[in-house]
C-alpha cells in the first residue's frame, strides 16, 4: 500500500503546531430550520469550543500527539472559555496571545435535528489578526508538522515560510478564498479542502477535474472532505474516493476540523494513505454523534470501534 515518504524532525518538542482560528460556538439544535417571522422552542443550546485549527489541535491531543496551539483569544469571558477549553485538553497554549480589548470569535450554529446539518453565523474582531512582529518564529517552528487554516492570511504566510525554511511539513485546512490564498497554498505539502473549495478556486465545476487543476497549482498532496460521503484524494494522478462512516448524525459541526486532526495523526505515525483516510473518516464520523466540534473521540475510543489501529 502506498504511503507518504516523510522525514519528520526528531528534535522538536511537539508533534504538531497549529496556527489559526479558535471560537466559541453556540450550538443550537432545532426540530426544523426556522421560517422567517416565526418562534420555535430549541431542543438544545450550549456554548462549545470551536474554530478550525483549535479543534484540530484538540483532536490531535485526544489521539495522543504532543500538540501546541497558536492564536489570539479575546479579553472577554468567551476568550477565557476558549483558552481554557484548549488548555484543559492537554494542548500547549503558552504561545497564545490574549487581546485584552478584543471580543473572542463566536458563532451561532443552527443544527437541524435528524440530519445534523448546520448553518453557521459568525463574527470575528479584526483585533484578533496578528501584527507584523507579533508571531513567534520559535513557537511556529516547534513542531514536526505545522497546520494552518489561512484566515489570518498574512500571518499564515509568514508561518508557512518559516516552517518550510526549517523543512517542517505543512498542512492546510482550506475553505476561505482570499487574494493571497493562491500564494499560500503553493507552499503547502498537504492541502485538505472543503468540498466546495476546489471548484470555487479553479472555476471548474467537476470536482475531480478541479482537484487535478488544484494539484497542478500546489504541487503537493491534495484532498477534499465530503461530509457524510467521506473524502476524496489525488493519489498519483487519480481521484480516489474514501467512504465516510455511516452514523446517525446529531451535529456535523467541526467534523472537517476533526478529520484534519486525525489525518495529521496518521502522518505522524507513518501510516499508508488508505490507513490514514480510513482512520480520519472514522474519527470524524464518531464526532458527529455528539453536539459541538470538540466532541472527537479519544484514541482508546477509536481503537474500541475499529478493533485496532495501524502500528507506528
Burial class (CB in 10 A: 0-12, 13-18, 19+), 138: exposed
Class of CATH domain 14-22+51-103+126-306: alpha beta
Spatial distance between the Cα atoms of 152 and 51, rounded to a whole number of angstroms: 13
Residue 1 clears pLDDT 70, i.e. is over it: no
Give ∠ CA 227-230-232 in degrees, rounded to 5. 110
Top pLDDT among 311 and 272 is at 272
Q: What b-and-e string marks burial along 170-186, b requiring 16 or more CB atoms within 10 Å of the CB?
A: bbbbbbeeeeebeebbe
> What's the rounded mean pLDDT across residues 206-234?
94
- The three-state secondary structure class of 4 is coil
- The three-state secondary structure class of 303 is helix
Domain boundaries, the chain: 14-22+51-103+126-306
Residue 117's CB is within 10 A of a number of other CB atoms, namely 15
Concatenating the DSSP letter of every residue in 193-208 gives E-SSHHHHHH--SSHH
pLDDT band with cut points at 50, 70 and 90 for residue 107: very high
Residue 308 clears pLDDT 80, i.e. is over it: no
Residue 78's CB is within 10 A of a number of other CB atoms, namely 18
Tens digit of each residue's pLDDT (9 = 90 or more) over 170-212: 999 999 999 999 999 999 999 999 999 999 999 999 999 999 9
Residue 3 clears pLDDT 90, i.e. is over it: no
Amino acid 312: pLDDT: 63
Angstrom CA distances, 132 to 67, 136, 155, 179, stand at 25, 10, 8, 18
Spatial distance between the Cα atoms of 79 and 71, rounded to a whole number of angstroms: 11
185 Cβ neighbours under 8 A, 6+ residues apart: 150, 172, 174, 191, 214, 217, 218
Q: Residue 131's Cα: distance from chain center in Å?
A: 23
Amino acid at each position: 500500500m502506498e504511503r507518504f515518504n516523510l522525514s519528520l524532525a526528531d528534535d522538536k518538542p511537539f508533534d504538531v503546531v497549529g496556527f489559526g482560528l479558535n471560537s466559541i460556538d453556540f450550538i443550537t439544535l432545532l426540530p426544523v430550520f426556522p421560517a422567517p417571522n416565526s418562534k420555535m422552542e430549541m431542543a438544545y443550546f450550549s456554548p462549545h469550543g470551536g474554530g478550525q485549527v483549535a479543534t484540530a489541535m484538540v483532536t490531535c491531543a485526544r489521539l495522543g500527539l504532543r500538540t501546541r496551539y497558536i492564536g489570539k483569544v479575546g479579553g472577554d469571558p468567551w476568550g477565557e472559555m476558549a483558552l481554557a477549553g484548549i488548555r484543559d485538553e492537554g494542548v500547549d497554549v503558552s504561545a497564545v496571545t490574549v487581546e485584552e480589548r478584543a471580543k473572542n470569535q463566536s458563532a451561532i450554529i443552527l443544527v437541524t435535528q435528524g440530519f445534523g446539518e448546520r448553518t453557521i453565523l459568525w463574527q470575528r474582531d479584526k483585533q484578533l489578526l496578528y501584527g507584523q512582529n507579533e508571531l513567534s518564529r520559535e513557537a511556529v517552528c516547534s513542531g514536526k508538522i505545522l497546520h494552518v487554516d489561512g484566515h489570518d492570511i498574512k500571518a499564515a504566510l509568514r508561518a508557512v515560510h518559516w516552517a518550510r525554511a526549517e523543512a517542517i511539513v505543512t498542512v492546510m485546512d482550506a475553505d476561505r478564498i482570499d487574494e493571497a490564498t493562491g500564494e499560500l497554498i503553493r507552499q503547502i505539502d498537504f492541502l485538505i479542502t472543503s468540498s466546495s473549495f476546489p471548484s470555487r478556486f479553479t472555476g471548474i465545476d467537476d470536482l475531480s477535474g478541479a482537484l487535478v487543476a488544484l494539484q497542478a497549482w500546489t504541487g503537493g498532496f491534495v484532498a477534499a472532505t465530503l461530509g457524510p460521503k467521506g473524502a476524496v484524494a489525488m493519489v498519483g494522478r487519480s481521484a480516489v474516493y474514501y467512504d465516510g462512516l455511516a452514523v446517525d448524525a446529531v451535529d456535523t459541526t467541526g467534523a472537517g476540523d476533526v478529520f484534519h486532526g486525525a489525518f495529521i495523526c496518521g502522518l505522524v505515525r507513518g501510516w499508508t494513505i488508505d490507513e490514514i483516510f480510513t482512520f480520519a473518516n472514522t474519527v470524524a464520523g464518531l464526532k458527529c454523534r455528539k453536539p459541538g466540534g470538540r466532541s472527537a473521540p479519544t484514541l482508546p475510543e477509536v481503537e474500541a470501534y475499529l478493533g485496532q489501529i495501524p502500528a507506528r
